[in-house]
């Protein structure tokens, strides 16, 4: 039986880093337009430091941003940020060019393909559905609490993980899986030694997976 190739979601199936950056910048511009009385640099710095402190998936980034700036809570300004953020997210959320063909091509060659993600399950399913990638995989393990959870159900010795996240790569490697690291997104400047292959572009995934699978 051929290997199972599991794709991570963020920065592999779509460009999460680009999308979040643009969505946040447009949110801040809208908030300023709605009356936020600070300049862009000050505002975006405050937003980034809130995200740093509260995590990516916290639901009240804009509220805490106002607090950090010493500005009274204002639903109009917050709503302006929310609308711009969601409009940007929905309009830019599309698959990384090439990824659909890479997945399909691996399927055609007899690999089992899967998607897995660490994070809130409903939000990650929303991404998959909006990306129109919710029918292409054999295996869906969305909303995992860790990569080791994935390997409770998949045999690591027949699994190849494709991820842009060095800590995911390290975890999968420790579990005994082979790994392909895509050098994209917010972790792309971080070095790691654990990956069996490193590739810079989407098409590189195909040859990396195939050579790994053949034991090369």
Footprint of a copy of itself on this chain (CB under 8 A)? 34, 75-76, 78-80, 82-83, 86, 90, 121-126, 128-130, 134, 140, 142-143
Min dist CB 85 to a copy of itself, Å, is 11
Q: What residues are paired with 10 via a beta bridge?
A: 14
**Residue closer to a copy of itself (CB basis): 51 or 82:** 82
Q: Which is nearer to a copy of itself, 125 or 203 (CB)?
A: 125
CA 58, 93, 13 angle in degrees (round to 5)?
90
Closest to a copy of itself by CB, 135 vs 191, is: 135
At its nearest, how many Å lie between a copy of itself and the CB of residue 63? 9
Distance CA 30, CA 36 (A): 9
Residues sharing a CB contact under 8 Å with residue 215, sequence separation 6 or more, in sequence order: none
User: Is 128 or 205 the residue whose CB approaches a copy of itself more closely?
Assistant: 128
CB of 37 to a copy of itself, least distance (A): 17
Q: How far is the CB of 73 from a copy of itself (least distance, A)?
A: 9
Q: How far is CA 50 from CA 28, 60, 117, 128, in A?
A: 13, 9, 24, 27
DSSP 3-state of 178: strand
For the chain, the helix, strand and coil percentages under 3-state DSSP, each to the nearest 5: 50, 15, 35
């Amino acid at each position: 039986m051929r290997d199972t190739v599991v794709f991570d979601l963020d920065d592999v199936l779509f460009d999460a880093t680009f999308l979040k950056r643009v969505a946040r910048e447009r949110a801040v511009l809208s908030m300023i337009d709605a009356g936020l009385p600070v300049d862009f640099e000050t505002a975006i710095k405050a937003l980034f430091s809130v995200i740093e402190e509260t995590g990516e998936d916290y639901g009240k980034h804009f509220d805490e941003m106002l607090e950090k700036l010493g500005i009274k809570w204002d639903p109009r300004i917050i709503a302006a940020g929310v609308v711009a953020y969601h409009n940007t997210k929905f309009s830019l959320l599309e698959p990384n060019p090439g990824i659909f063909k890479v997945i399909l091509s691996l399927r055609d060659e007899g690999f089992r393909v899967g998607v897995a993600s660490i994070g809130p399950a409903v939000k990650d399913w929303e991404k998959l559905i909006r990306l129109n990638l919710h029918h292409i995989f054999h295996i869906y393990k969305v909303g995992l609490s860790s990569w080791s959870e994935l390997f409770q159900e998949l045999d690591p010795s027949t699994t190849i993980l494709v991820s842009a996240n060095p800590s995911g790569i390290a975890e999968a490697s420790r579990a005994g899986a082979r790994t392909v690291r895509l050098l994209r997104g917010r972790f792309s400047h971080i070095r790691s030694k654990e990956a069996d292959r490193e590739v810079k572009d989407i098409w590189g995934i195909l040859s990396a997976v195939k050579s790994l699978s053949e034991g090369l």
